[in-house]
Amino acid sequence: MVSKEQLVQIIEVSIDELIATFKATPFFFYTENDLHTHLYFGIFSKLTLGEWQCKTRDGKSSILLHKEYPTKERYSAKALKKGFSEGARGHFDLSIWNPDETSDREFRVVSSTNFEEEQQTFIAIELDLIERNEPMKQAMHHFKWDILKLSSQKNRVEHGYQLVFVRDWRNRGNFPESARKEAVKTHNVTVLYIEKDNDVVRVGTLTPKPFLNFEQIFK
């Protein structure tokens, strides 16, 4: 089976390819979901089906890559709070299960009290597309919500990536600086900021940890 190191490399190369497409043709993507599916395809195509396949403890044959895989933590998304005994679980836009633990964990548990028996999300990716007249307050809430899911210890995400795509956004204000202050509080999340403003596209991280050739902006 594919190794954890290989998966990290595949994810980062695929993210780099997605960014390159956005830089070359920012309107290639009509919606945020276009970004999701483009990245999913880019990741999936880098391995054979056999390399992606795995078997869970309860005998289910599945693959390591999933969209909208649930968190272990329960949240109030509106209040941006975690640690609830009841309430909704979050979902990651894209996730990769830990290949070293698939055979020791369930595909899906029946009881709502033992989510820890489900697969570990080794890598999680959140994407956001902000443009036109979206209020900055709304964008910041979405950003904090993604950070909360990626960084919650109970979710055990080892490598989290948050990709913020901005396209001719009229209400940008001080969003990059505010987002950076939230991003630097995490230890396992790399936040990439990709902004198209008129004819210029710039890319950088909002976290000190570098990503490939991209360095931190808005220090």
Tell me the domain boundaries of the chain: 4-205
Which pLDDT tens digit goes with each residue over 143-165?
999 999 999 999 999 999 999 99
Q: What letter does residue 98 receive in the DSSP assignment?
A: -
**Mean pLDDT computed over every residue of the chain:** 94
Which pLDDT tens digit goes with each residue over 79-123?
899 988 877 899 999 999 999 999 999 999 987 778 999 999 999
Say if residues 190 and 218 touch (Cβ distance below 8 Å).
no
How far separated are the first and last CA of the chain, in Å rounded? Answer: 40
Inform me whether the pLDDT recorded for 136 exceeds 70: yes
State how far the Cα of 191 lies from the Cα of 214, in Å rounded to an integer: 11
